[in-house]
């Protein structure tokens, strides 16, 4: 069964919660307003589960994992503001029909590990955190209670770009500059600080970790080590195609690359150009192992 580990699908409770807000992040009708990005006109059809299920079937995808849109910055809001949004997101996520399942989310101002455990016990597949929460040793110290819950249950972490700082640039700027930078930094922060603290944790980095694995030669030249591939540190393919995937395979091999689309903002290519066996690994075998820890 093909698996897409990275999509976003906003349900009615979450949409209503965003519209009730008077400060960013918020929805004004169908216009998304964020502190660090230009207003974005949301297409209501993009958040219709029936349409999205049809798209998954057309793509041959049998399991779709949805997550909170971390660039909104919900996780970092004060607890009294984050709670209504997180509760609404989780209510919608747990009500999704097939082929959807969802990643949990968590507030970062007050790490509530028991609440995360209860959500995971209801069937959520793991936890998504914004990369901005995991950029240094202090971030891993703060998030340790949440990550320990994942380790204890053998469930994965999904690291997704967080909020972009305000910048005077074109609409594509956040996706191409701060998001990529965040993921690059998060990849190396996990290697330096995350893996020593959480030796059993499976983790997946969005958008090929900002292509951080391609810097392995520089990493080795500056004393970071050579030829060390973490078998439990995965990267997903959203917004990238054959050239980037081929380069990443050359850097870290095929076994830790998984398919993710970031729908409704992008799609998985029909063919990554890596051959049938590698296509099966990326779309079927590797995502299954990320989620279950089993071949």
* Residue 258 contacts residue 236 (beta carbons within 8 Å): yes
DSSP state at residue 80: H
Query: For residue 228, what pLDDT is reported?
Result: 83
Residue 223: its pLDDT value, please?
Answer: 84
Give the integer Cα–Cα distance in Å for 269 and 261. Answer: 8
For 58-87, what is each residue's pLDDT tens digit? 999 999 999 999 999 999 999 999 999 999
C-alpha–C-alpha distance, residues 113 and 115, integer Å: 5
Q: Is 78 helix (H, G, I), strand (E, B) or coil?
A: coil
pLDDT digits (tens, 9 = 90+) for 195-209: 999 999 999 999 999
Cβ contacts of 235 within 8 Å, gap of 6 or more? 187, 204, 205, 208, 209, 213, 248, 252, 256, 257, 258
Tell me which DSSP letter residue 90 carries.
Answer: H
Confidence band for 103, pLDDT divided at 50, 70 and 90: very high
How many CB atoms lie under 10 A from the CB of residue 140?
Answer: 21
Residues 6+ apart with CB under 8 A from 184: 209, 210, 211, 212, 215
Whole-structure pTM value: 0.97
CB 289 within 8 A of CB 260: no
Q: At what angle do helices 12-19 and 79-94 cross, to 10 degrees?
A: 160
Beta strands in the chain (DSSP E): 2-7, 26-28, 31-33, 40-41, 61-66, 100-102, 127-130, 157-160, 203-205, 233-236, 257-258
The mean pLDDT of the chain is 96
Q: Please, how many CA atoms are within 13 Å of residue 94, restricted to the half-sphere of its CB? A: 14
- Whether the predicted pLDDT of 215 surpasses 80: yes
Using the predicted structure, report yes or no on whether residue 273 has a pLDDT greater than 80: yes
Contact assessment for residue 125 and residue 101, using Cβ atoms and an 8 Å cutoff: yes
Q: How far apart are CA 239 and CA 90, in angstroms?
A: 26
The predicted pLDDT at position 224 comes to 80
């Amino acid at each position: 069964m093909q698996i897409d580990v990275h999509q976003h699908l906003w349900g009615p409770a979450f949409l209503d919660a965003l519209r009730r807000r008077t400060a960013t992040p918020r929805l004004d009708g169908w216009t998304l307003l964020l502190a660090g990005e230009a207003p974005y006109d949301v297409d209501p059809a993009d958040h219709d589960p029936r349409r999205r299920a049809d798209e998954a079937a057309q793509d041959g995808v049998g399991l779709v994992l949805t997550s909170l849109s971390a660039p909104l910055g919900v996780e970092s809001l004060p607890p009294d503001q984050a709670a209504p949004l997180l509760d609404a997101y989780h209510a919608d996520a747990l009500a999704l029909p097939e082929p959807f399942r969802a990643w949990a989310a968590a507030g970062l101002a007050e790490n509530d590990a028991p609440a995360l455990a209860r959500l995971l016990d209801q069937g959520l597949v793991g936890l998504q955190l914004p990369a901005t929460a995991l950029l240094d040793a202090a971030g891993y110290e703060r998030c340790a209670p949440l990550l320990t819950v994942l380790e204890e249950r053998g469930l994965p972490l999904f690291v997704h770009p967080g909020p972009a700082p305000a910048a005077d640039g074109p609409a594509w700027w956040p996706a191409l500059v701060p998001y990529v930078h965040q993921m690059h930094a998060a990849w190396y922060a996990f290697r330096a600080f995350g893996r020593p603290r959480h030796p059993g944790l499976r983790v997946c980095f969005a958008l090929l970790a900002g292509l951080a694995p391609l810097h392995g030669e520089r990493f080795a030249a500056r004393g970071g080590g050579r030829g060390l591939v973490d078998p439990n540190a995965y990267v997903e393919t959203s917004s990238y195609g054959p050239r980037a995937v081929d380069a990443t395979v050359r850097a870290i091999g095929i076994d830790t690359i998984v398919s993710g689309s970031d729908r409704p903002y992008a799609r998985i290519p029909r063919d990554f150009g890596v051959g049938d066996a590698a296509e099966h690994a990326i779309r079927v075998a590797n995502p299954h192992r990320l989620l279950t820890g089993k071949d």
